[in-house]
Amino acid sequence: AQTVTQSQPEMSVQEAETVTLSCTYDTSESDYYLFWYKQPPSRQMILVIRQEAYKQQNATENRFSVNFQKAAKSFSLKISDSQLGDAAMYFCAFREYGNKLVFGAGTILRVKS
Amino acid sequence: NAGVTQTPKFRILKIGQSMTLQCTQDMNHNYMYWYRQDPGMGLKLIYYSVGAGITDKGEVPNGYNVSRSTTEDFPLRLELAAPSQTSVYFCASSPGLATTDTQYFGPGTRLTVL
């Protein structure tokens, strides 16, 4: 079974600075998808960014980008120019067969003004 | 479109009681899912469905039942509530297995079993 590990329970960043959230995963599959979801205090799950494993180019969505290292099975999220609204729990997720998601335990991101 | 809706938003149950968590999506999605999120943890898959009349177990199915009689609805049934089922429950849906398919989540139901 696939596993997803987020080793940072909590991170802090100063407003306007850059922060990187770590994620590693374990799988024997060669083609798969990885996601970062944001969960603010409202509990709503919001898709931040998606990476397809067969694409070597790292995904980017505005201030959010990933560093995907397939051989190392690493998938980190970089948030640039951090804003107060970025404060949330962030989950890394792996999509396995049947479009089922396996989630990591999450990282709480705090943004200081 | 309302997307994925869940009712109720909050519920307190006594041990041994039963209840049904409702989930409805108006996007004509084939795939639907139920996850639970325990405090400080990630989401874990309880059950999923690939279409009306078809359901299958996820990682943590014990203590739950589901049915899928229509494309729109995917209710989750708790028969004998236990304190271990205290959690936040999320329903999600996706169109299918296409490479671009994303799961869309409902707002969640916070359940407390005392």
Domains of chain B by range and CATH?
A: 15-95 (2.60.40.10)
What domain range is A44 assigned to?
3-112
Residue B16 CB coordination number (10 Å): 10
| pLDDT, tens only, B14-46 | 999 999 999 999 999 999 999 999 988 899 999
Q: What is the largest CA-CA distance in chain B?
A: 43
pLDDT at B98: 66
Cis before A40 (ω within 30): no
Smallest CA-to-CA distance from B18 within B70, B63, B74 is with B63
Question: Which residues of A fall within a CB distance of 8 Å from B90?
Answer: 45
Task: Supply the pLDDT for residue B57.
Answer: 95
The two three-digit tokens of residue B67, written as one number: 């049915």
Distance from CA of B95 to the nearest CA of A (A): 10
- Of A77, A80, A47, nearest to A59 (Cα)? A77
**Cα-Cα end-to-end distance for chain A:** 41
pLDDT at A12: 97
Mean pLDDT, residues A24-31 taken together:
89
Mean pLDDT of chain A: 93
B33 vs A: CB within 8 A: yes
Q: Which amino acid is at B102?
A: T
Residue A96 has a pLDDT of 78
The answer to whether the Cβ–Cβ distance between A98 and B42 falls below 8 Å is no
Question: Considering only A64-78, A79-93, A96-110, which range has the smallest mean pLDDT?
Answer: A96-110
pLDDT for the residue B97: 66
Confidence (pLDDT) at B99: 56
Q: Which of B90, B105, B109 to mutate to test the interface with A (most CBs of A within 10 A)?
A: B105
**CATH label of the domain that carries residue A52:** 2.60.40.10
Tokens of A76: 């980190």
Quickly count helices (H) and strands (E) in chain B: 0, 11
Q: How far apart are the first and last CA of chain B?
A: 36
Task: In whole angstroms, give the CA distance from residue B94 to residue A35.
Answer: 14
Domain count, chain A: 1
A34 vs A68: CA distance, rounded Å: 9
Residue B19, chain A, CB below 8 Å: the answer is: no
Q: What pLDDT sits at residue B1?
A: 67
Query: What are φ and ψ of residue A86, in 5° steps?
Result: -80, -15
Question: Residues with Cβ < 8 Å from A90, sequence gap 6 or more?
Answer: A21, A36, A37, A38, A39, A48, A77, A106, A107, A109
Question: What is the β-pairing status of strands A74-79 and A19-21?
Answer: antiparallel
